[in-house]
Structure 1
Amino acid sequence: MAKLINHGLLLFAMLFLTACGGGGGGSGSSSNSSTPVDSGLALESSVLTVNGKPVSGATFTSYGGATDTTGVTTSNGEVEYYEDSTTVAVYIGDVLIGTVASDAVTDPLTIESLLASNSAAANNSTLQNLPTILLEDQGSTVSSYALPANLAALDPVASTILTLNGKPVSGVDYVSGDTSGTTSQNGVFEQESDHSISFQVAGLELGPVDTDQLPTSIEALSAASESSNPLITNLPALLTDLNAADASNPIAGFRLYNLEQALLKPSSLPANRVLGVNLETPQAEADHINQPLITADIFRVARPFVEGSCNDIIYDANGWPTSIPDACANADTANGESKYAFTRILQFALGLSFPEGAYTVFYDGKGQINFSGMGCNGTRLEEGHYTVDVKAANACPDDSGKVQNINNIRGLEISITAIDATDPIRNIRIVMSGGICKGNPFERVTTEDSCSSETSFIEFAELYKNNDNVIVFNPEFLNFYKDFRVLRFMNSMEASPRRPESQTLNPCLGLSGTDYEACLLQSFEWQDRPTLDTAQWGGSYKTSVLKRLGMPIEVGIALANQLDAHPWFNIRHNATDDFVTRYAELLNDELNDNLIAHVEYSNEVWNAGFWGHHYVMQKGYNDTEISAMDNFPFRNSDFSVRTRYYAKRSIQIFKIFEGVFANNSRLKRIMGGQHKFAALADNLLGFEDAKDHTDAIAIAPYFHGCWNRQAVNGSGETYDHPSCSNTETVAKTMSEVTSLEQVFDVMNGVYDDSISDASLRGDPDSVEATIKLIAPQVAVTDSYSTDEHPIDLYAYEGGQHLTVNWGDTLVSTARKNSLLDFFQAANRDDRMGEYYTRLMEGWKEAGAKQFVLFTSPQSFNRYGSFGLKEHLGMTRTESPKYDAVLTFQEALLGCWPEFSEAGC
């Protein structure tokens, strides 16, 4: 049996403590305090305690008055001193425990408080941990604690206590020979006498440490480690940050995730944030649209392998190819099929939109990887480790050997040309160079020389080398989102897929009747969601909408926590109750306690372009109670059943979240309305008990202008647009503009919402109309509000909406292309910033609350110019919309109706 160091040895039972043996520096001469008969001075007393119980064997002395006193506490722990003494000191042997002014002596007088007053205790681990050592050595059931004749008698016990910042630290795993365990609340571990000991925190190896190196601390173990993992080199600071500042017994039982997020946490964030912003899908459907890089590992936004690989390849559950069959040698390369497992990243990306330079490639498994396009010079360093230079204009040859000077059209191409089927290549990480200085995750630096002596350099590659699922955000990505109070993750998590018929790969193609309905109403289970193990997030139009699922929930939570921003999550239209419950549980467990989870069911269910629209309408018809109700006034049955089912399912989801969170103060329950139709908000809030479980109605205040005076109906007949055909009230439509100035003129059209005749009101899509239509929405939410439960108006999206109606057969293609040029130019014009300011001011003055802008940096394209910036690398001065919203926010100094104090 392993021989363990005895924790109970070497304590003395108050032997040999005489007047001269008390040490302590006092001048008394007896083992108990002596009182001259004729002194005339009153004798004061207190009880010395440790761990709440009396202490025997402590030497005490009082001095500074007419008579000094020295003594040794007995089992009752009594300490005596004369009333004119100035100081009382307490010792263990010759070592000072601490002093206290006589007029500040408390009853009891605790060893803990004496140690806190003794700066020298910090340099002596045995003395500093005296209460813990006594508790560990003598137990918690004794009636009093006995001090030995000297401090050294406790050193063997002290050597088996692991500390952090001088305090015992619990939750650290240890192994010594055949002995293993976890440090106790008192930081105690057990060591086999003839073995060294090693420690682990969240799986990170510390040590081993030999007996002559004990006692030890997290600080010493970290400093002695030869690892370059920044989690280890920064471990003392990380554990300190994760514990309460006044923790007497810090804990180390954190997950690797907790340590990683603490390592990457900013030391400060912008003040007075009031606005929100939507995040975009990791991968746009169209190849030419450039989205922000989310993480330092750019492979996360590579196209799914299945989109460009050999058709015969089989994949595992996470999307990694398991082998390359022989049949792939005959792949139809003329039609775009590869002979290998193939994917690409950064297609059409400009150099300013991502960090050019050396990237480190890691992967698990065995095989061969080749690079082409924007990165043709990959170098294999060892199995599982490459480097590759990535530049937008690399002169790299294509498959035929021909050099293309502009390879951003191709992007960075990755081909897995050989796979060991017994250990397939997986978990590929392509990591940008450099890292950050601890405390500033918003700026990428290339080397540790860029960091000050007080801030550690955290290298991206070191983090990914040790954990392929670490969540390290791209600094440019963080730098943009840090300025916003609320982050809406609808698009980034692909929570609102387009309707089946509008997909290139229609999941319900060829189905009809009950088969089509079954496809339409298929449910979404918890196991269907993407995870950190999923190979790639999202996909292009070549991937079925059923498999294009965006980034994992965990990434959204990590981003919210790191930026201290409130997350806004959209629950998929077909999510099961089990999915909703697990979603709520994950949010409740992982989201920082100071953050509010904004929860919305689906997205724009009034919009027939989304799957959720058709889903909730069919569910409404299938609901016998809802389908039996009368239609809303002036509305058809489709609208009525859809609206009621949406309200019903929203309430069900809100109630699940309420049950999980318990405290509704950490929830914002949101239902989606429609900007031009305030009656919808009334319909939703008036359904059953919806008003009691809803905190906000959210709309999308967009401005643009009438597109055309006429339109074509489903029968091919041309008809006049009811709001835009009148040339007196609508001077010009967008389809008629011939200059950039006229684009702004149309957006600046007049609108009089007091006129009942729609043809006489003016342009319903102008900036003025958009602002005037806010007030009716506020009136509805106010009508359902109470002092105990106010209901607010939010904007889930908003801003400009200049888009070309490509389906309008009344406008020529050439005309549409010229309009696209005008619209993109307008979004780069300073006047657009002025229009954004008008919208923000109008929103605030109407009494509406949280405004979430649409959208994140995104390249302007034929479908719209919605990005506040065109890519992450663009400056504020180059981006008038971005500059305008930040200028508006900064001028408020945090004063906003939702969360400002009175008088703001």
Structure 2
Amino acid sequence: MLHKFPKWLLIFVSLFVLLAVAWYAYRAWQEQPPVPAVRAPPTPATSIAAQSPQASLLGINTNEIGYTDASMPFVDLFRSANPFQENVLRLKADAVTYDANGWPSNLNGGEAGTRFLGELPPDALPAGEYTVLYEGEGEIRYGNDAKLITHAPGRDIISLDAGNNGRLDASLVITRSNPDNYVRHIRIVLPGGICQHYPLKRVADAAACNGDTGMYLSFADHYASIVFNPDYLDFMKDFQAIRFMPMSGITRNPEAHWQDRPSMDEATWGGTYGARGAPLEIMVELANRLQKDAWFSLPHAADDDYVREYATYVRDHLNPELKIYLEYSNEIWNTNFNHGEYTQKKGIEMALGLNAADVGYEYYTIRAREIFAMWEQVFGGRERFVRVLGGWDTRPDFAEKVLSYDDTYKAVDALAIAPYFGGNIKGYREAETVEDIFHLTTEPDSYRSLPEVLEKVQRHAQLAQQFGVTLLGYEGGQGLVDWATRKPEQHPNPLFFAANRDPRMGQLYTEFLEGWQQAGGQLMMLFSAPRICQWYGCWGLKEHIRQPREQAPKYAAVLDFMAAHQPSPLPAPSKPAHNPLATAPRNPNDPLIVWRPAVDPERVFFIENPITLDLLLEGTAWDKRNLFGKWQGRWDDDFLFLTVRVYDSKRVFDSAHPADDDSVGFLIDTDNSRDAKLDGKHDFHLIFACDREKVVLGEGSAPMSAEALHSIRFDMRAFYDGYVLEAWIPWKALGMNPAIKDRVSVNVEVNDDDDGGSRDGKIAWMAQDKQALTDPRQWGVVLFSGR
């Protein structure tokens, strides 16, 4: 049809269209956000990669989002507040209702409040006036160290000055709110802003910006596009990769469906376990802004749709030049987390075996392989991501299990462990000076000393090479913490804090990283971004995001190490054709655990690093709250000190034989002969029942005189969720005189009765089948240790 129009008219129309396109393109450029929006990759003007030196093979773990997070990741402080529903201020809030995003939609005569800062060093935040923005009609009251300066509808100005305790604490309370236009979308914004082309530094005002650094962007006006605190970006820029496990809220997170994930529209991203977590959009945006590789950990209960949607978003939004490290859950072997219980239950449901711990490990490998396969399908290959299997730093045998099970090593690229040095809790409790702490942390024979940890690293590196995978560190660093304390001033916490602030700690970090590299370890994800020192540890490389380098010896040592060691990654190891363990069976007489000497009479029953009881020998239903336990043994020249902690929702003792009631059975082969049946001489079976004052010999046990039986003392104390056995077993009663490096075979069992009559279930430490009671070959070997 075009040939019917005059040529001059066609030229005129074409010029008009070109001019119109140019004009709208110019207007779009003028109106675009000055820094990248959260869902878009950064423009070249704001890319931070060019402003960061070449990083070594060191990465960093983020922190959990919460009001005590000293890394201060966001320019909007309210993003880290606790959800209103958690009512941390203990207000009259029973009748308050909330909208789908957690904003109080109707106070119903009450109040709704939360904390947005807590226990932070005063220097963690810049001085100045903070802008509070909100929508809706109502009133906000500020508390603790937050003071109102000026008020206008939808906009308050507050100050934040530490109180007499030298810590920053801040809260707010919505005291009045119109239900038809309720107070919502609260933002608490840092003072100042950034220069457009230099997002790593906060500036006070426009006078600090020029042509080279770009126009001034105030936080109050541009918080939505700036998103991240410049101090946070400046800290994170030096690391090669970012592990988002803490920031994503993985720990004890029950979410299973894609619609349950953290949302950009939620009132806050902070809170307790299961509530906190940043959206995936935020994590991807941070990696893109910094141009850093991303380490993602998927929730343990995530269904297939969740896994595929997660993979799809990462595929479509993460810079394709960045490497992805993909991990299923986090530390599923750690019984302190519900991830472990979940995988154990799933393994039992799949009838993988009797040992709850082992079937949990097996399910972990099965689900990890399924997730890797789904990501490969979504990505159309696996070139962009590294398939990571989590290990256990003190247990090379765990790595053997998960890598060898069903040839899992063929479906993974890397084994990751978390080597933490510093774990001699008993020694630390006896320490009087910081010098004592450093001595225990560096002494080769001290538990979890740096030399011992590096020896475990070497063993894992050998295993990784044997299976043809790369060795990574998903976490690592010092681990000085006493979980029995609850206050920072409790001993030995002041000594731990002082050690972390001592220049010698920087030297230990240098030795640690050099040892890791020399052993063949590749990317190490240090733990962690800046955190305050508290009773639960002093984990951060710095104690707050603005702490100077010269005051943070760990951080200074890490920067020096990175400057001296540029990355030179080794080629990917080749996979062996066959399972490396297929022709290398374990010696059945190798010790599985050690009994350490009980040199402190007051702590012989203190459970420290206990052994799990979760092998289901009898019964069909297993529940960690109803049939679960942990045990530990200590020894001296006269006694074996046996401790068993049982988790049982109901105690029953109504049978003639204690093994049919709630009771603990202890089996020991004193000469470690490990015969196929009880020998009647050296194989003892002791039963400790909740309703009896004296120990009972089990069927088939070696005989024991009445005097010997009476010499065995025990105490069984009831708790709200179970009971604890503490037993003093004289060696004389067992007819032995143990010495360092001797071995015995042992098994521990827990009998459970829930409804009277015969028992309903039994769990044990070591066994392959129900005959373990009379088959010492199935018991575990214990080594008597001198330390």
Q: TM-score range by the shorter chain?
A: 0.5 to 0.7
* SS, match of residue 257 in structure 1: coil
Q: 1:158 — aligned with what?
A: 15
Per-residue CA deviation, residues 386-439 of structure 1 (Å, 9 max, x unaligned), is 32233334xxxxxxxxxxx66956x22222222221222211111112211122
CA distance in 1, matches of 2:372, 2:69: 35
1:531 to 248, 254, 263: 263
Per-residue CA deviation, residues 178-222 of structure 1 (Å, 9 max, x unaligned), is xxxxxxxxx4xxxxxxxxxxxxxxxxxxxxxxxxxxx73644676
Unpaired stretches in structure 2, ≥5 consecutive residues: 573-787
Alignment of 1:397-476 (within 5 A): 408=167, 411-454=169-212, 455-464=214-223, 470=225, 472-476=227-231
CA distance in 1, matches of 2:99, 2:127: 32
What is the deviation of 1:9? 7.3
Alignment of 1:844-859 (within 5 A): 844-859=517-532
Per-residue CA deviation, residues 469-527 of structure 1 (Å, 9 max, x unaligned), is x46100111111111111111111110228xxxxxxxxxxxxxxxxxxxxxxx761111
CA distance in 1, matches of 2:3, 2:116: 60
1:642 to 360, 369, 375: 360
RMSD, aligned α-carbons: 2.8
Matched, 1:743 2:437: yes
2:129 to 343, 353, 358: 358
What is the deviation of 1:663? 2.8
TM-score (norm 2): 0.68
Determine if contact 1:529/1:549 at 8 Å carries over to the other structure.
no
Q: 1:768 — aligned with what?
A: 451
Matched, 1:570 2:297: yes
What is the deviation of 1:774? 1.2
Per-residue CA deviation, residues 328-370 of structure 1 (Å, 9 max, x unaligned), is 2xxxxxxxxxxx2212221222321012211222222222223
CA distance in 2, matches of 1:555, 1:693: 29
Distance 1:363 1:594, change over 3 A: same
Determine if contact 1:283/1:291 at 8 Å carries over to the other structure.
no
2:534 to 847, 861, 868: 861
| Residue identity in the other structure for 1:488 | R
* SS, match of residue 23 in structure 2: coil
| Residue identity in the other structure for 1:322 | S
1:795 to 458, 466, 473: 473
Q: 2:550 — aligned with what?
A: 877
2:80 to 287, 296, 301: 301
2:23 to 213, 216, 222: 216
Determine if contact 1:441/1:475 at 8 Å carries over to the other structure.
yes
Matched, 1:661 2:379: yes
What is the deviation of 1:746? 0.9
CA distance in 2, matches of 1:825, 1:407: 18
Q: 1:60 — aligned with what?
A: none
What is the deviation of 1:156? 5.3
CA distance in 1, matches of 2:5, 2:255: 66
What is the deviation of 1:575? 1.0
Runs of 4+ with deviation above 4 angstroms: 6-10, 220-223, 259-264, 405-409, 813-816
Matched, 1:367 2:138: yes
| Residue identity in the other structure for 1:620 | G
Matched, 1:320 2:91: no
| Residue identity in the other structure for 1:663 | G
What is the deviation of 1:269? 3.2
1:550 to 257, 277, 281: 277
CA distance in 2, matches of 1:367, 1:832: 51
| Residue identity in the other structure for 1:302 | A
Determine if contact 2:420/2:478 at 8 Å carries over to the other structure.
yes
Matched, 1:311 2:94: yes
For these two proteins, the number of residue pairs brought into alignment is 566
Distance 1:494 1:379, change over 3 A: same
Distance 1:452 1:483, change over 3 A: same
Q: Greater RCO between the two (CA within 8 Å, min separation 6)?
A: 2
CA distance in 2, matches of 1:262, 1:369: 40
Determine if contact 1:671/1:697 at 8 Å carries over to the other structure.
yes
Q: 1:206 — aligned with what?
A: none
| Residue identity in the other structure for 1:270 | S
CA distance in 1, matches of 2:451, 2:507: 13
What is the deviation of 1:263? 6.6
Per-residue CA deviation, residues 532-555 of structure 1 (Å, 9 max, x unaligned), is 101111214xxxx33x23111111
CA distance in 1, matches of 2:4, 2:17: 12
| Residue identity in the other structure for 1:370 | R
What is the deviation of 1:893? 2.8
Determine if contact 2:97/2:106 at 8 Å carries over to the other structure.
yes
* SS, match of residue 877 in structure 1: helix
What is the deviation of 1:694? 0.7
CA distance in 2, matches of 1:581, 1:892: 37
Alignment of 1:209-288 (within 5 A): 216=23, 218-219=25-26, 231=32, 234=34, 257-258=39-40, 264-266=46-48, 268-273=50-55, 274-283=57-66
Q: 2:311 — aligned with what?
A: 584
* SS, match of residue 686 in structure 1: helix
Unpaired stretches in structure 1, ≥5 consecutive residues: 1-5, 13-136, 139-153, 164-186, 188-214, 224-228, 239-254, 329-339, 394-404, 499-521, 629-636, 709-732, 751-761, 786-790, 808-812, 900-904
Per-residue CA deviation, residues 819-841 of structure 1 (Å, 9 max, x unaligned), is 21111100000000111111101
Q: 1:513 — aligned with what?
A: none
Distance 1:815 1:443, change over 3 A: closer
Determine if contact 1:370/1:378 at 8 Å carries over to the other structure.
no
Determine if contact 1:290/1:348 at 8 Å carries over to the other structure.
no
* SS, match of residue 115 in structure 2: strand
Distance 1:898 1:313, change over 3 A: farther
TM-score (norm 1): 0.59
What is the deviation of 1:155? 5.4
Q: 1:482 — aligned with what?
A: 237
Bigger radius of gyration, 1 or 2?
1
1:392 to 131, 152, 162: 162
Determine if contact 2:41/2:289 at 8 Å carries over to the other structure.
no
| Residue identity in the other structure for 1:495 | I
CA distance in 2, matches of 1:162, 1:525: 49
| Residue identity in the other structure for 2:14 | V
Determine if contact 1:371/1:378 at 8 Å carries over to the other structure.
no
Distance 1:577 1:471, change over 3 A: farther
* SS, match of residue 842 in structure 1: helix
What is the deviation of 1:572? 1.0
Determine if contact 1:266/1:439 at 8 Å carries over to the other structure.
no
Determine if contact 1:346/1:408 at 8 Å carries over to the other structure.
no
